[in-house]
Amino acid sequence: MKIGTIDIPEYPLLLAPMEDITDRSFRKLCKMFGADLLYTEFVASEALIRNIDKSLKKLQIDDDERPTGIQIYGHSIDAMVEAAKIAEAARPDLIDINYGCPVKKIANRGAGAGMLRDIPKMIKMTKAIVDAVKLPVTVKTRLGWDTDSIVIDKIAKPLQDTGIKALTIHGRTRSQLYKGMSDWTLIGKIKENSDIHIPIIGNGDIKDGVSAKNAFDKYRVDAIMTGRASIGKPWVFKEIKHYLKTGEILPEPDITEKVNIAKTHFTLSLKYKEGKRGIFEMRRHFAHYFKGLRNFKELRLKLLTSTNVDEISDLLDEIKYIYGNKNQENYVQQ
Ligand SMILES: Cc1cc2nc3c(=O)[nH]c(=O)nc-3n(C[C@H](O)[C@H](O)[C@H](O)COP(=O)(O)O)c2cc1C
């Protein structure tokens, strides 16, 4: 598959953009485990044009995580065009536009999924961005605002006509937020449409090899994108790739391996985040890495409240020591 000039291998597996998750440290891990294309967290256009340091930092991409796209969002066409130019100067591999964020304060202002309620503006904004930058531009969106206003079938072709190089569809409406299951039938219909020739990337509830294979086989999408299943489990990319290739389900990494991966993640987080942020931003990940461990409450609490790097490192070693290699017995039924 090609997105503009970017070559992506067969059965592409993409890391979804996720706020507070897909920072440099996490992207590197996902890349190590085989993710084919990665995205930054979404970045507010207004913050970029106002030079807000925290947002500008989100644009930083290292060569060892390529290809990576920068995702931007906003409600003003002028601000989005300016932001796309700023993002382009940071040398990502592509620029992705977010028309899917369901968060009230974003969507109700007309940005993110809010754009699903103003299709003419969405098309105008997309075209303006495509025309303003040289990099490939892609769009990520949802099926529609709610079940009574599904628009994906109406917007796919006009979006393609603006010159975007791929379209990612999350198979939920804005009203669904993250509830229920994604409707892949509608994603499949867009892919089936003979007027659509840009790659269609399917997104929603891909969590393992079986769901990934089903998405490719049944809905014929060009690529799949996974988000939540990778949190605390960046090896999910390796698992899925292995399953697609061999039909075998790889065993979960044992606790020792999980601790080693979490430690690598922690080291990267400390490297890229200033002050205590490298610690704070790992808490959510730690909670996921060791989800379901038996009798873990006390250690978990310490791990998620400590503000000391050495103490956290010792706690991670303690997990290794206590749970050792008795892998299956370690977990409560989930
Ligand atoms: C914590 C979190 C943060 C997210 N942030 C973004 C974001 O910044 N941009 C975006 O397009 N989607 C964002 N999403 C949506 C995901 O990219 C993805 O579309 C959604 O989670 C469905 O895919 P999944 O079932 O594989 O998780 C976020 C989702 C989660 C759970």
Instruction: Say which CATH number the domain at 107 has.
Output: 3.20.20.70
Number of domains in the chain: 2
Same domain, 122 and 233: yes
Ligand 1 centroid, distance to 17 Cα (angstroms): 6
- The whole domain housing 304 covers 255-330
Ligand 1 centroid, distance to 18 Cα (angstroms): 5
- What is the predicted pLDDT for the residue at 330? 74
Of ligand 1's listed atoms, the one at least distance from the Cα of 100 is 11
Ligand 1 centroid, distance to 230 Cα (angstroms): 11
Among 218, 246, 274, which residue terminates a domain?
246
Cis peptide before 9 (omega within 30 of 0): no
Residue nearest to atom 13 of ligand 1 (CA): 18
Ligand 1 centroid, distance to 317 Cα (angstroms): 31
Of ligand 1's listed atoms, the one at least distance from the Cα of 170 is 19
Does residue 102 have its Cβ closer than 6 Å to ligand 1?
no
Does residue 69 have its Cβ closer than 6 Å to ligand 1?
no
Asked whether 222 and 1 are in contact (CB, 8 A), the reply is yes
Same domain, 176 and 269: no
Burial zone of 295 (CB within 10 Å; 0-12 exposed, 13-18 middle, 19+ buried): exposed
Among 205, 223, 246, which residue terminates a domain?
246
CB atoms < 10 A from the CB of 71, how many?
28
Same domain, 210 and 265: no
Same domain, 107 and 167: yes
Same domain, 161 and 143: yes
Same domain, 154 and 262: no
Residue 240 φ/ψ, nearest 5 degrees: -65, -45
Question: What 8-state DSSP symbol labels residue 42?
Answer: E
Same domain, 220 and 301: no
- What is the predicted pLDDT for the residue at 333? 60
Distance of CA 239 to CAs 12, 55, 94, 111, Å? 13, 32, 26, 35
Same domain, 109 and 145: yes
Same domain, 18 and 161: yes
Asked whether 17 and 43 are in contact (CB, 8 A), the reply is no
Residue nearest to atom 14 of ligand 1 (CA): 18
Among 246, 268, 301, which residue terminates a domain?
246
Does residue 84 have its Cβ closer than 6 Å to ligand 1?
no
Same domain, 238 and 262: no
Which residues have a catalytic role annotated?
A: 101
Does residue 96 have its Cβ closer than 6 Å to ligand 1?
no
Asked whether 173 and 107 are in contact (CB, 8 A), the reply is no
> Rounded to an integer, what distance in angstroms lies between the CA atom of residue 274 and that of residue 334?
36
Same domain, 179 and 308: no
Of ligand 1's listed atoms, the one at least distance from the Cα of 172 is 22
Per-residue pLDDT of the chain (334 residues; tens, 9 = 90+): 999 999 999 999 999 999 999 999 999 999 999 999 999 999 999 999 999 999 999 999 999 999 999 999 999 999 999 999 999 999 999 999 999 999 999 999 999 999 999 999 999 999 999 999 999 999 999 999 999 999 999 999 999 999 999 999 999 999 999 999 999 999 999 999 999 999 999 999 999 999 999 999 999 999 999 999 999 999 999 999 999 999 999 999 999 999 999 999 999 999 999 989 999 999 999 999 999 999 999 999 999 999 999 999 999 999 999 998 666 567 776 5
Same domain, 109 and 67: yes
- What is the predicted pLDDT for the residue at 328? 58
Does residue 100 have its Cβ closer than 6 Å to ligand 1?
yes
